Amino acid sequence: MSDIEAQFALLHQSADPAVTDAIAGLIKDGKDHELNRINALEFSKRNGLDEEKTISGFLQASKLGLFDLTWNVLCPGCGGVLDVHDTLKALRPDDYHCGLCACGYECSVDEQVEVAFTVAARVRRIGAHDPHTLPHWEYFKQVFWSSGIELDEKSFASLTDEITLEALELPAGEKAVLSLQLPAQFVIVFEPVTHSAHFIDVQGEPTRERQQLSLIYNKPHPPTGTTTMRPGSLRLSIDNQAGVRVLPTVFIAGDALHHMLGKRRPFLTAKRMLSNQTFRDVFKADNLHVDQRLKITSLTFLFTDLKGSTALYERVGDLAAFDLVRAHFAALLQIIAAEKGAVVKTIGDAVMATFIRPEHALAAGLKMRAAMDQLNAERGSNDLVVKIGIHEGPCLAVMLNERQDYFGQTVNIAARVQSLSTQQEIHITAPVIDAPEVATILEKEAIKPIQKHAALRGIADKMVVYEIP
C-alpha cells in the first residue's frame, strides 16, 4: 500500500465515507483548476454533501497531508486575493491594500479571509503549484481571484470580449509597447502578479494625436496613480523590472466589470472555521499568537450552566452525579456540533459555544432543553436543568490560556444573560431575536417570547432581553 493509499485509509476512519469518496474522486479525475483553492462549500453543493461533514473531511485530509490549507486575505470590493498565508498566525494586524480598487482594508475574519484547500504537490502536481507558468487568464482565475468569484462561461466571455482592451504576458527583464484606442471611459491598467494598477481617466474631446504612457514594474515601487487622457490612440510602453513574469491587462472600468465582480458565491470564511469543532480539535497548533487580535464584526455566543449541580452531588452522590453530568455534556456537545457550532471551553458544569448565525444558536438551545427533558424522563427525575443564554455582536478572537478564545463586551453580556435563567427557560437578546430566521423558528415552534428589562452584573445600563419559555 502506498503512502497516499494509507492516508486515504486513515481518512475513511476519521471523515464521512461519502465525503472521503468524493475527495478521492476529485484528486483522481478532477481538472487541474478544480484542485486549486477548492471552495469547500461549492464542492459540498456540487456533490450533494452535508456542508459540515465536507468541511470536516477537507480538514482531516489536510491534517493527513493530502491538501494544503491556506488563509487568503480578500479585497471586499473586487474579490481579489491580497495575500496568502499558510497559517492563521501569519495574518497581519496592519491594513491590506488592493491595487485594483485603490483601497486599504483592515483585516476582518468575517468575510475578508477565505479558507481554501489545494491538493498537495506530492499527491498530484497541478499548474497552480508553479503559478508563473499558468496562462494569462488562468492566473487571474486561479491565483488572483478568490473562490467566491463566480466566473462562469458568460462572465468569462464578458471579461475577455467587453471588459478587456489589451492583455499582455511579459517575461522578466523584457519591454513591450501596446497600441490601443482609449474609449471615453475610465480605464485601469492592472497587473495581478505585483498587484499594482495605474488609472487612466479618459475625458474630453477625442484627439488624433498619439498619447504616450510609460509604466515600469518592479517590486519595491510598482506603478500607481492616475493619468488624465483624451479618447483616442495610446502608445503604452511597459518595462518589466519585477524579476518575474508580469501580466499587465487593460480593463474598461464600466458596468460590465462591476457586474462581473459582483457575482459572488458563498465561500468558507475564517470566522466559520474558527467556529468549526473539527478545526478546533485537529488544528490547535494553527491558532493565534498570544499577542494576536482578530476582529470579528458578528458572532453568536451561547452559554449554558447546570442548575444546582452542587446540590445534585449531595442528593444523588458523587458517582451518580458524575454520570449525569457526563451524559449532559455529551448531549450538549453533540447538539452544538450538529447546529454548526463549536465548543470554546467548558468551565465546571458550564459550556461556552460559538455559532456563525443566531438561528443556529437558538435551534441548539431548544434542542438542549429537549435533550435534558429526555434524560430526566429516562431517569424518572428532574435533576438536569440547564440554564441557557444567547447574545450576538462584535468581538475579538484571541489566545487565552493557550487556547483560541474570544474577548469583549459581547462575551460578557452573553454570560450574564445566561445567569438570568432560573429553570429551563432560554434568555436571548435583541440582536438575536431581530434575526429573521430566529423569528421563523419561534413562529414554527409557537413560542411567544416574553420581553424584560434586566440589570446585568457589570453592565451599566439595563438591557432588553427576551425569555423563551
Asked whether residue 138 is domain-assigned, the answer is: no
pLDDT computed for residue 224 by the predictor: 76
In this predicted structure, the answer to whether residue 148 has a pLDDT above a threshold of 70 is yes
In this predicted structure, the answer to whether residue 293 has a pLDDT above a threshold of 90 is no
Asked whether residue 35 is domain-assigned, the answer is: yes
Both 442 and 305 in one domain: the answer is yes
In this predicted structure, the answer to whether residue 450 has a pLDDT above a threshold of 70 is yes
pLDDT higher for 348 or 392?
A: 392
In percent, the amount of the chain with pLDDT more than 70 equals 95
Residues 299-310 have pLDDT tens digits of 999 999 887 566
Both 314 and 437 in one domain: the answer is yes
How far apart (Å, rounded) are the C-alpha atoms in residues 260 and 301? Answer: 36
Residues 166-182 have pLDDT tens digits of 999 999 999 999 999 99
Contact 91, 114 (CB under 8 A): no
Average pLDDT, the chain: 90
Among candidate residues 427, 425, 420, 423, the one with its CA nearest the CA of residue 456: 420
CATH number at residue 393: 3.30.70.1230
Contact 217, 249 (CB under 8 A): no
pLDDT computed for residue 222 by the predictor: 63
In this predicted structure, the answer to whether residue 344 has a pLDDT above a threshold of 70 is yes
Instruction: Determine how many CB atoms are found less than 10 A away from the CB of residue 358.
Output: 27
Both 433 and 317 in one domain: the answer is yes
H or E stretch at 333: helix 318-338
Both 111 and 201 in one domain: the answer is no
Identify residue 5 by its one-letter amino acid code.
Answer: E
| Predicted confidence band of residue 316 (pLDDT cuts 50, 70, 90) | low
pLDDT computed for residue 165 by the predictor: 95
Asked whether residue 150 is domain-assigned, the answer is: no
- For residues 372-395, average pLDDT: 87
- For residues 275-295, average pLDDT: 83
Both 368 and 432 in one domain: the answer is yes
Residues 33-58 have pLDDT tens digits of 999 999 999 999 999 999 999 999 99
Cα-based torsion angle of the residue sequence 65, 67, 73, 75 in order, rounded to the nearest 10 degrees? 180
- For residues 272-287, average pLDDT: 85
Both 200 and 344 in one domain: the answer is no
pLDDT computed for residue 388 by the predictor: 95
- For residues 421-425, average pLDDT: 83
pLDDT higher for 261 or 127?
A: 127
Among candidate residues 85, 39, 145, the one with its CA nearest the CA of residue 292: 85
In this predicted structure, the answer to whether residue 429 has a pLDDT above a threshold of 90 is yes
Q: In this structure, what DSSP letter does residue 65 have? A: T
In this predicted structure, the answer to whether residue 1 has a pLDDT above a threshold of 70 is no
Asked whether residue 464 is domain-assigned, the answer is: yes
Among candidate residues 406, 267, 260, 262, the one with its CA nearest the CA of residue 344: 406
Asked whether residue 276 is domain-assigned, the answer is: no
Asked whether residue 24 is domain-assigned, the answer is: yes
Identify residue 363 by its one-letter amino acid code.
Answer: A
Distance spanning both ends of the chain, measured CA to CA: 58
H or E stretch at 462: none
Residues 179-203 have pLDDT tens digits of 999 999 999 999 999 999 999 999 9
pLDDT higher for 96 or 220?
A: 96
pLDDT higher for 356 or 377?
A: 356
In this predicted structure, the answer to whether residue 390 has a pLDDT above a threshold of 80 is yes
Asked whether residue 278 is domain-assigned, the answer is: no
| Predicted confidence band of residue 311 (pLDDT cuts 50, 70, 90) | low
How far apart (Å, rounded) are the C-alpha atoms in residues 198 and 217? Answer: 11
Both 119 and 252 in one domain: the answer is no
Contact 399, 405 (CB under 8 A): yes
Among candidate residues 368, 356, 359, 365, the one with its CA nearest the CA of residue 300: 356
Q: List C-alpha distances in Å: 402 to 275, 288, 345.
A: 17, 9, 12
Contact 303, 365 (CB under 8 A): no
How far apart (Å, rounded) are the C-alpha atoms in residues 25 and 44? Answer: 13
Both 124 and 169 in one domain: the answer is no
pLDDT computed for residue 219 by the predictor: 75
Residues 69-106 have pLDDT tens digits of 999 999 988 999 999 999 888 887 677 888 888 888 77
Asked whether residue 27 is domain-assigned, the answer is: yes
Both 203 and 81 in one domain: the answer is no
pLDDT computed for residue 312 by the predictor: 65
Instruction: Determine how many CB atoms are found less than 10 A away from the CB of residue 263.
Output: 14
How far apart (Å, rounded) are the C-alpha atoms in residues 132 and 141? Answer: 13
Identify residue 55 by its one-letter amino acid code.
Answer: I
Of 22-26, 146-150, 276-280, 454-458, the poorest mean pLDDT is in 454-458
For the chain, helix, strand, coil in percent to 5 are: 35, 30, 30
Total count of domains within the chain:
3
In this predicted structure, the answer to whether residue 215 has a pLDDT above a threshold of 80 is yes
Both 175 and 296 in one domain: the answer is no
| Predicted confidence band of residue 160 (pLDDT cuts 50, 70, 90) | confident
Both 335 and 255 in one domain: the answer is no
Range of the domain at 195: 158-262
Residue 234: beta bridge partners?
A: 180, 211
In this predicted structure, the answer to whether residue 66 has a pLDDT above a threshold of 70 is yes
Both 297 and 253 in one domain: the answer is no
How far apart (Å, rounded) are the C-alpha atoms in residues 92 and 79? Answer: 19
pLDDT computed for residue 250 by the predictor: 96
pLDDT computed for residue 20 by the predictor: 96
| Predicted confidence band of residue 108 (pLDDT cuts 50, 70, 90) | confident
User: Cell 417570547 sits at which residue?
Assistant: 449
